[in-house]
Structure 1
Amino acid sequence: MIKKFILILLFIFNINLLLADDISIWKKSTLNEILERGELRVGLEPGYMPFEMKDKRGRIIGYDVDMAKAIAKAMDVKLKIIPTAFDGIIAGLLTNKFDIIIAGMTITQQRNLKINFSDPYLVVGQTILLDKKFKDEIRTAKNLDNEKYTITAKLGQTGEIVARKFFKSAKINTFDTEAEAVAEVLNGKAAAFVNDQPYNAMFMDAKGKDKLIHLDKSLTYEPLAFAVRKGDPDFLNWLNNFLRQIKNDKVINLHEKLYKKWFIETDWLKKVQ
């Protein structure tokens, strides 16, 4: 009887320890910090159409910005956008300069060693913008893998990784921004530019007509996701439930509305040109 009583006490004690651990994890959660602060801090780099960019008035707009606004609204907190260079954006998250990265970031195993990702909110792939003068000699991406060609990409983005993986013989030049990298192709200094399909499609519509060719067969499968610090299950749980809600709630229909606004319609181009 005494042994049974002791076992019951030990069971209750262990349950209390587990509950205490759960409370401790929640108190340290980024989500709890956001709610107590009353502000969601989002790291992104304006300059990646149509995900995040500056309009003519200097305001940061884009698909990711609208997504961040929706998240902040669902949390009932204010939104603070913190512009950050992409090659330092993971370091910014790890040093608590912001709470989350919403910047068209592709899930990669290398990045996942340092940070955690939510479920994907979009899936894209890398495509190629080609100088039109090469239309007869370069018909597929495979034709670009030649030492006589120069290919550009943005430093630190998936485009650079893919360019170096697929084109071992070609010369790869990287630049701090997409605009600089694709300008090399427009100005005849490079044969091709590698970047995400949505950016390349928008660029073709805006500036690439009659100058470039879009080789739009995707080279990769790239899920884009929100990035958060490791050891934060409560924040990830909330974000994944948010994504399920906006994708499946046919009344709100937010996921479809944002996709249509930024990837199908082009009215927003007038604000940035």
Structure 2
Amino acid sequence: MRRTVLVVLALLGVLAVLAGCGSGPQTPTDRVAATHELRVCSTGDYRPLTYRDASGSWSGIDVDLARDLAAHLGAQVTMVPTTWSTMLDDVTAQRCDIAVGGVSVTADRAARAAFTVPYLHDGKTPIVRCADLGRYSTLEQIDRPGVRAVVNPGGTNERFARGRLHAATIVPYPDNNTIHDTVADGRTDLMITDAIEARWQAAARPGVLCAEHPDAPFDSSEKAYLIPAGDQAFVDRVDGWLTTALADGTWDRVARPWLG
């Protein structure tokens, strides 16, 4: 009898483990607490916020801040490469605990996942060859036959261009790390991107690329971090860390080497 009871208890234990395995993915709060790992999705192609070089090394403002967040959570960062086209699906499928790196707050993303408080206010502006400064300053100047506007597929840059440009030629280009080279060498005429990226790319190529009116962009938007839906406790904890980082100088300290 005693042996039978032990066998039954062992079977019940196995069933409990199997039931737990089949209960679906853990929330970020539970997973980070259990593993001491913070999985961070990023495209690695949006300097100065995030960059992944040819060797696979990551850098950028949001990469450094993700490491600071992980330390706050008692965890280590694991970077998870994604793309602008797949980022939302990666977050909702919980392939990562948070997505960073220039993620604009949009209604479609907010409908499927959760955003933190915004940490950056920005807007779309053209980056052009300095020799063409003033030639593509307005949407009317850009949206003409023969003008070539390059876009990186899957993000809000492409969405803005396709929504506002109808006569210009939209040129998709898959690599956002080298997309600005197409403007610099004349393969395309301009790119409409967020002012923070336009400023950085112009500073990286002085006299070659120039940002058109980055202080007065065509629109306004907010950037925040994206988190799987259904874990308000994790959102609140990240919000608390981010609000403090913005207030106590942490964000400015991390950003200064990139923004000057």
TM-score, normalization by structure 1: 0.79
In the alignment, residue 230 of structure 1 is paired with which amino acid? A
1:186-225 → structure 2 map (5 Å cutoff): 186-207=184-205, 209-215=206-212, 216=214, 217-225=216-224
Quick check: 1:91 aligned with 2:92? no
Correspondence for 2:250 among 250, 254, 262:
254
CA distance in 2, matches of 1:144, 1:123: 24
1:141-220 → structure 2 map (5 Å cutoff): 141-207=139-205, 209-215=206-212, 216=214, 217-220=216-219
In the alignment, residue 214 of structure 1 is paired with which amino acid? A
Of 210-219 and 53-62, more deviation after overlay is shown by: 53-62
SS in 1 for 2:222: strand
1:104 is matched with which residue? 102
Deviation at 1:86, TM superposition (A): 2.4
1:68-87 → structure 2 map (5 Å cutoff): 68-87=66-85
1:138 is matched with which residue? 136
SS in 2 for 1:127: strand
Residues 174, 181 of structure 1: 8 Å contact kept? no
List alignment gaps of at least 5 residues for structure 1: 1-26, 265-273
Deviation at 1:211, TM superposition (A): 2.7
Change over 3 Å in CA distance of 1:60–1:136 after alignment to 2? closer
Deviation by residue 1:218-249 (Cα, 9 ceiling, x = unmatched): 11212111111111111111111112211223
Which protein is richer in helix relative to its size?
1
CA distance in 2, matches of 1:60, 1:256: 19
In the alignment, residue 237 of structure 1 is paired with which amino acid? D
In the alignment, residue 192 of structure 2 is paired with which amino acid? V
Residues 126, 137 of structure 2: 8 Å contact kept? no
Deviation at 1:135, TM superposition (A): 4.0
Correspondence for 1:39 among 10, 13, 37:
37
CA distance in 2, matches of 1:70, 1:151: 37
Deviation at 1:118, TM superposition (A): 0.8
Deviation at 1:57, TM superposition (A): 5.8
1:10 is matched with which residue? none
Deviation by residue 1:35-57 (Cα, 9 ceiling, x = unmatched): 11111110111121111113586
CA distance in 2, matches of 1:47, 1:136: 27
CA RMSD of aligned residues (A): 2.0
CA distance in 2, matches of 1:94, 1:137: 42
The number of residues matched between the two structures is 234
In the alignment, residue 160 of structure 2 is paired with which amino acid? V
CA distance in 1, matches of 2:71, 2:210: 40
In the alignment, residue 78 of structure 2 is paired with which amino acid? K
In the alignment, residue 210 of structure 2 is paired with which amino acid? I
Residues 29, 234 of structure 1: 8 Å contact kept? no
Deviation by residue 1:147-167 (Cα, 9 ceiling, x = unmatched): 221101111121111112222
In the alignment, residue 261 of structure 1 is paired with which amino acid? P
Change over 3 Å in CA distance of 1:39–1:181 after alignment to 2? same
Deviation by residue 1:240-273 (Cα, 9 ceiling, x = unmatched): 1112211223xxx202212323222xxxxxxxxx
Identity %: 21
CA distance in 2, matches of 1:204, 1:236: 34
In the alignment, residue 229 of structure 1 is paired with which amino acid? P
SS in 2 for 1:173: strand
TM-score, normalization by structure 2: 0.83
Residues 180, 201 of structure 2: 8 Å contact kept? no
Deviation at 1:101, TM superposition (A): 0.6
